[in-house]
Structure 1
Amino acid sequence: MLRRKQGRCVIGKPKAPEPPDPQETAAAQTGTNVSTAVANSILGNVNQKTPYGSLTYGQSGTYKWTDPTSGKTYDLPIMTATQTLSPEQQKILDQNNQTNLNLATLATSQSGKLNNLLSTPFTLGGAPAAGDPSKLTMPNYQQFGAGPQLQTQIGNAGNIQNSIAGAGDITKTYGTDYASNVQEVQDALMARMQPSLDQDRNALETRLANQGIQIGSAAYNSAMDDYSRQTNDARLGAILNAGQEQSRLAGLAQQQAAFQNQAQQQQFGQNQAQAQFGNQAQQQGYTQAANNAQFANTAAQQMYQNQNTAVAGNNSLQDQRFNAQQAMIDAQNQARSQYINEQFALRNQPINEIIGLMGGAQVQNPNFVPTQGVQMPTVDYAGLVQQNYANQMGAYNSQLAQSNSLLGGLFGLGSAFIMSDERTKEDIEKVGEVEGQNIYRFRYKGGGPMQLGVMAQEVEDNHPEAVREIGGIKHVDYGRLFRLGEAA
């Protein structure tokens, strides 16, 4: 900031805030904590009333505590919780106390009888005798005998016939292709038809000549084409008849071959049936031998099972005898244990009666609900002090930056007269104040960057010596206005 001293403009900076005193801050924080703790203690002591009684809190004294840092003394309240039973519960408590006192007195008088009881040693002289495990007779088990010798082999019942005598070769072909026979048939047919064909041709040519149809004419060629087709049809018929003859001969040969193969197959079936009959007889003999062996093994196995059953019965009888002896010993031990338990019961009964006399009914205490007292948070006094100091430092730094920014802009103007007429400026915005003189941010009309300065009309009121009118426009001498060259 700028401040005037002895009529001159002097440049200065804002004063930084004083840092907080740690000892004073700690003492204030301690006082705040103590006050908050006392308040929370009082808020948490909620008096309660129930059908069985009440619970009240009250201050029963004061404890003085001195802060070792600041030396300040604080009075801390000492609280006392008092529980009071309802009149009915108080009567029950009084009667229980009297009953317990009577029972205790009775127990004291009866306990003298225990001297004789406890002074007598506990003896088992009259107890039944215990069972003697040495008298148990261990069972004598019989061992199972070896298994029977089973028959595992069967005699041979004969050799199986695995081949069949030959029945002759199978006929796989039945003659040639009969091509020569076909050709012979075809030639014979053509030889028989050819004279007739020749006569038909001569007759056709004579008829055409009589009709005046010349050789080579269309009618002649058409008639000859018809004759040629008839001739070809006759030849094709001869070839077809020759093929049918070939098929007939082949069929006869096939029937002959099939008859021969059928006779061979019949012979083979007879040979196979004879071999199969022999094998069935051999299988029947083998099966009979196997059945005889199986019957013998089954009889031996059944005899062995009968012997094992008898041995198992004898061993089971031995187990029954052993279990009977053991049950008798267990019964003797149970009788002895029962006698000992009865003697202990007779000895402990007087003691238990006295212990029972010493017990009494309990008073039902009031069940107080857990209270949720309001907790007053502790004020962070030290944090507030530090935050306030940080805020002051932030404001100081902001003012210092703003002052440096303003002064830096003003320093750049020099001591010449600068056009500062308000009429030449636009977008005017006040950004600060220096010793009562407003500082503006503006832009000259017609365009250009934003600049920093004063308004000549305002400066003229207080410092006319720093204002000059040039060409009808007011100018300001910043060096003369702020005496920047003589800054202290």
Structure 2
Amino acid sequence: MGLYGSAPKSPDPQETASAQTATNIGTAVANNVMGNVNQVTPDGKLTYTYTTQKWTDPLSGKVYDLQVPTATQELSAEQKAIKGQTDAAELNMATLANTQSGKLNNLLGKPIDISSAPTGGNAGAIGLPQYQQFGGGPNLQTSVGNAGDITKSFDVDFDTSRYEQALMDRLNPQLEQDRAALETRLANQGLQPGSEAYNRAIDQASRQSNDARISAILNAGQEQSRIAGLARDQASFQNAAQQQQFGQNVTSAGFGNDAKQQMYQNQNTSTAANNALKDQTFNAQQSKFNMANQQRAQYLNELYAQRNQPINEIIGLMSGAQVNSPSFVPTQSNPMPTVDYAGLVQQDYANKMGAYNQQQGNMQSLFGGLLGFGGHLASLSDKRAKKDIKKVGELKGHGLYEYAYRGKHNDGKRHIGVMAQEVEKKRPDAVFRRRDGLRQVNYGALFNAGRKK
């Protein structure tokens, strides 16, 4: 026995399993009865009856009564009448079908003759079209030939200085002759060199000579310009002739390319027409092939239909009207859950053990503190001062009690301790009286010193 009574007894596994089995069987029987609902419809009714079947639990040996259901379906009077008529009609048609089936021996005993069937299409006679390939494009003229070089500059072979010198060679003798004649004439007139009249006459003659020379130079420049203009006109004429020749070459090349392009387009048109004709021929061959196959397939289908017709008639005779089974409403029952009896037992045991262990821990903590005072803790323990006394355990041979104090000693709390009257019989040294005559127990002396014999 511990500080706070004995530990709870652990559940017996066999008893727990047996109780769980009984719970499961009871739940299953209840669900079975609740789920099987009797039904009544215009076409009939559905009724459940139960028979008892014994079952022995191999673990506990207990015998249980199991309710085994039997479902009975009953047609209404109208449906029973229909079923009777249907059965009779089906018997008649089955008899007729049996009679007709005897006639199939001659029909099915002979192979189907398809010798008169139309011949199917010959795929080997269809030749794939050999298309004509389109030719390459024409070789167009991309060059217009050489129309001559363009004259970009012209040279004038004219030496102005030589031309001037030639003019001077002709002019100078005349100028010298005129000067000599002037000097002679001035001398004949009595004018002496150095005189004003003489110098004026000589100066005028010199200016005339210079004017003549300048005129010769200007004449040389004009001649040079005239010759350069002739050269320029010649170059312009040559370039115009070259441009005209180039234009004629371009026109000739364009005409030739247009002619080649037209010929290429004509060839492509002819090639496309030939290929289209080959496609048309190929499609016609395919159509002929498909038509032959369709004619043969149609002939064979009609032949097979003629052969199968008697069989289909017999099958039709063997199939008759069907009896309408009653349409029952599906029942929606909420299954009763199985009680986890074993789990509940185990949980209850765990709860009790938890409470017991907690109480033991509290007691150990309490008395560990009491023993730690080393003989200096005294408490009012007289039984006469206590009420609502309940024994909760033992410690070192002394009974432990839970109680409350009476009268003025009542502090509104529950306490745990020994009874002074009991301790006094075994350990009088640990008990002493107060002035009011009530007994107190020295817990330190009681539990630290041990028990006296």
**TM-score range normalised by the length of the shorter chain:** 0.5 to 0.7
Deviation at 1:459, TM superposition (A): 7.4
Say whether 1:363 aligns with 2:347. Answer: no
CA distance in 2, matches of 1:347, 1:480: 119
Give % identity.
53
Q: 1:108 aligns with which of 86, 91, 98?
A: 98
Say whether 1:286 aligns with 2:246. Answer: yes
Preserved CA contact (<8 Å) 2:96 2:317: yes
Equivalent position of 1:53 in the other structure: 44
Say whether 1:378 aligns with 2:369. Answer: no
Preserved CA contact (<8 Å) 1:413 1:478: no
Matched residue type, 1:383? G
Equivalent position of 2:432 in the other structure: 466
Deviation at 1:304, TM superposition (A): 3.6
When residues 411 and 133 of structure 1 are mapped into structure 2, their CA distance, relative to the original with a 3 A threshold, is closer
Q: Any idea what the Cα deviations from partners look like across 1:436-472, whole Å, max 9, x if unmatched?
A: 67478xxxxxxxxxxx8989xx979x99973233xx9
CA distance in 2, matches of 1:154, 1:378: 110
Preserved CA contact (<8 Å) 1:418 1:475: no
* Residues 139-158 of structure 1 mapped to structure 2, 5 A cutoff: 148-158=138-148
* Residues 193-212 of structure 1 mapped to structure 2, 5 A cutoff: none
CA distance in 1, matches of 2:365, 2:285: 119
**Which of 318-327 and 14-23 deviates more?**
318-327
SS class of match (1:116): helix
Preserved CA contact (<8 Å) 2:379 2:443: no
* Residues 429-468 of structure 1 mapped to structure 2, 5 A cutoff: 438=403, 466-468=432-434
Deviation at 1:55, TM superposition (A): 2.5
When residues 311 and 279 of structure 1 are mapped into structure 2, their CA distance, relative to the original with a 3 A threshold, is same
Equivalent position of 2:64 in the other structure: 74
CA distance in 2, matches of 1:148, 1:25: 108
When residues 91 and 482 of structure 1 are mapped into structure 2, their CA distance, relative to the original with a 3 A threshold, is farther
CA distance in 1, matches of 2:75, 2:145: 112
When residues 478 and 307 of structure 1 are mapped into structure 2, their CA distance, relative to the original with a 3 A threshold, is closer
CA distance in 2, matches of 1:276, 1:64: 139
Preserved CA contact (<8 Å) 1:420 1:476: yes
For structure 1, the residue ranges without an aligned partner over 5 or more in a row are: 2-10, 166-271, 422-429, 441-451
SS class of match (1:370): coil
Q: Any idea what the Cα deviations from partners look like across 1:104-140, whole Å, max 9, x if unmatched?
A: 2221111112111111221112223444556667877
Deviation at 1:375, TM superposition (A): 1.8
Q: Any idea what the Cα deviations from partners look like across 1:292-312, whole Å, max 9, x if unmatched?
A: 211112113323433443454
CA distance in 1, matches of 2:75, 2:282: 71
Equivalent position of 1:339 in the other structure: 299
SS class of match (2:434): strand
* Residues 284-433 of structure 1 mapped to structure 2, 5 A cutoff: 285-412=245-372, 418=378
Matched residue type, 1:367? S
Deviation at 1:331, TM superposition (A): 3.1
Preserved CA contact (<8 Å) 1:20 1:389: yes
Q: Any idea what the Cα deviations from partners look like across 1:381-429, whole Å, max 9, x if unmatched?
A: 22222222223323332333343344444445666794869xxxxxxxx
Matched residue type, 2:19? A
SS class of match (1:110): helix
Equivalent position of 1:20 in the other structure: 11
When residues 277 and 384 of structure 1 are mapped into structure 2, their CA distance, relative to the original with a 3 A threshold, is farther
Matched residue type, 2:11? P
Q: Any idea what the Cα deviations from partners look like across 1:187-242, whole Å, max 9, x if unmatched?
A: xxxxxxxxxxxxxxxxxxxxxxxxxxxxxxxxxxxxxxxxxxxxxxxxxxxxxxxx
When residues 405 and 307 of structure 1 are mapped into structure 2, their CA distance, relative to the original with a 3 A threshold, is closer
Equivalent position of 2:25 in the other structure: 34
Preserved CA contact (<8 Å) 2:374 2:444: no
* Residues 126-275 of structure 1 mapped to structure 2, 5 A cutoff: 126-132=116-122, 148-160=138-150
Matched residue type, 1:74? Y
CA distance in 1, matches of 2:403, 2:290: 121
When residues 45 and 318 of structure 1 are mapped into structure 2, their CA distance, relative to the original with a 3 A threshold, is closer
When residues 14 and 297 of structure 1 are mapped into structure 2, their CA distance, relative to the original with a 3 A threshold, is same
Preserved CA contact (<8 Å) 1:159 1:282: yes
CA distance in 1, matches of 2:331, 2:266: 88
CA RMSD of aligned residues (A): 4.6
Equivalent position of 2:410 in the other structure: none
Matched residue type, 1:46? V
Say whether 1:486 aligns with 2:451. Answer: yes
CA distance in 2, matches of 1:296, 1:97: 100
SS class of match (1:376): coil
For structure 2, the residue ranges without an aligned partner over 5 or more in a row are: 156-231, 382-388, 393-398, 406-414
Say whether 1:476 aligns with 2:440. Answer: yes
CA distance in 1, matches of 2:3, 2:132: 128
Deviation at 1:103, TM superposition (A): 1.9
TM-score (norm. length: structure 2): 0.62
When residues 417 and 401 of structure 1 are mapped into structure 2, their CA distance, relative to the original with a 3 A threshold, is closer
Q: Any idea what the Cα deviations from partners look like across 1:151-191, whole Å, max 9, x if unmatched?
A: 332112343566799xxxxxxxxxxxxxxxxxxxxxxxxxx
Deviation at 1:56, TM superposition (A): 2.3
Matched residue type, 1:291? T
Preserved CA contact (<8 Å) 1:416 1:477: no
